[in-house]
Amino acid sequence: MAGLAALMAAPAFPATLAPAAAGPRARPPRIRPGDTIGLIEPATASDEPFDITLVEEAVVAMGLKPKRGQHILNRYGYLGGQDKDRAADVTAMYADKDVRAILCVRGGWGSARLLPFVDWDVVRANPKLLIGYSDITALHMAVAAKGGAYTLHGPNGSSAWGKTSLESFKAVAFDGAMQVYKNPVASDDRLVQRKWRTQKLTGGKAQGRLLGGNLTVLTALAGTQYLPSFDDAILFLEDVDEAEYRIDRMLTQLGQAGVLSKLAGVVFGQCTSCSDPDGSGAGGGFTLNMLLQQHLGSLGVPAFQGAWFGHIADQHSLPVGALAEIDADAGTLRLLESAVV
C-alpha cells in the first residue's frame, strides 16, 4: 500500500520558492562539428531504449557527439522519470562544460512539472541552446522568464529530421544565419498554389522578440512565474489535435490574462488536425481562421497564419528570444540578429 500511495501522490513542490531574478538574455554559443550534445527527456518517456539509440544516430549523422542524461531511461508513469530527476538532468546538462547544446528527445507532457526543481542560477550562468518543440515550450518559456539564453524552437531528437528541418536548424544553430522564413513552394500542377499557403489576418510589418511555442502548453503557464512578459514581442503559436472550441478557449484565456494586449505582432504556424470531426463541439460553427481573426486579427498588429512550424514532418527552427521582423502581407519572418555567437 505504501508503494501505491507514493505512486499516486501529487508532485512535491518546494514549500517556498523565491522567483528567480530576471536578467538580460544572452546569445548561446553556436554548435560546431564534433561538439557534444546533451540528450534529455523532460516530458513523456520514450517507449523503448532503441528510441534513444535512433536519436543518438541522428546526432552522430549531424557530425556531433551525443551524451545521455543520467535519468534518460527512467520511467515514472507516463513521464521520463520523477520530476526532480528530470530537472536534475536539465541542470546537469547546463552545468556540464563538455556539453555545447541540449536536445530534448521528445515532447508529450511533463516539462512544466519539473520547472520548480531546476537550478535557474546554473541555467543563467551557462548559456546554451536548448532545442525542442511541443511540450518543450514550457522550458523555452521558463528560460526566457528567468533571464537565460536564447533557445531554439525546432525539431526534437526523435523528429524525422528531413531536409527542410536539418537545413533550417543548421543555418540558425551552426551558422548563426539571419534567416528569412517563408513557406515552401508547392510542386503540384495547379494554376494557383493551394498547399502550404499563409493567410493574412492583419497586414503590415512589425519587429520584436520571438516568444511562443505550443498554444496549449503556453496557456497552461499563464499566472505562473515561468511565463515571460510579452510586451512588444512577436508571439508565435502552433498546436495539434485541438478542436476549434478549445483553440477558442485558450486564446480567450491568453487575452484575458493580458498576454495578447501589448504584442508587436503574431505568427500562427501549423495547427495539425485542429478540427472537431463531427462538428458537434461547442466551436463547431467556427473555423480555425474565424477564431484567429476574432482573437488575433482584432489586436491591430500585423498577424498571419500558416507559417512552416509545428507538428509537421519538416519545420523551421525559430530562436526564442531573438529579435525578428514579420511581414504579414508576404507571410514571412526574418531574423534581425544572429541567435548564437
326's CB contacts (< 8 A; 6+ apart) are 205, 206, 234, 265, 267, 302, 304, 332, 333, 334
- Cell 523528429, residue? 159
Q: Among 71, 140, 153, 311, which one carries the catalytic annotation?
A: 311
Coil, helix or strand at residue 88: helix
Catalytic residue flag (residue 168): no
Catalytic residue flag (residue 134): yes
C-alpha pair distances (Å), 309 with each of 26, 33, 184, 313 = 24, 25, 12, 9
- Kindly state the helix (H) or strand (E) to which residue 327 belongs, with its residue range: strand 323-327
Nearest-angstrom CA–CA distance, 75 and 310: 26
Q: Among 46, 134, 165, 317, which one carries the catalytic annotation?
A: 134
Nearest-angstrom CA–CA distance, 56 and 24: 33
Q: Among 56, 238, 242, 325, which one carries the catalytic annotation?
A: 238
- Kindly state the helix (H) or strand (E) to which residue 102 belongs, with its residue range: strand 99-104
How many other C-beta atoms are found inside a 10 Å radius of the C-beta of residue 146? 22
Strand partners, 130: 102
SS (H, E, C) 143-193: HHHCCCCCEEECCCCCCCCCHHHHHHHHHHHCCCCCCEECCCCCCCCCCCC
Q: How far is CA 193 from the centre of its chain?
A: 29
Catalytic residue flag (residue 295): no
Question: Would you name the residues annotated as active-site residues?
Answer: 134, 238, 311
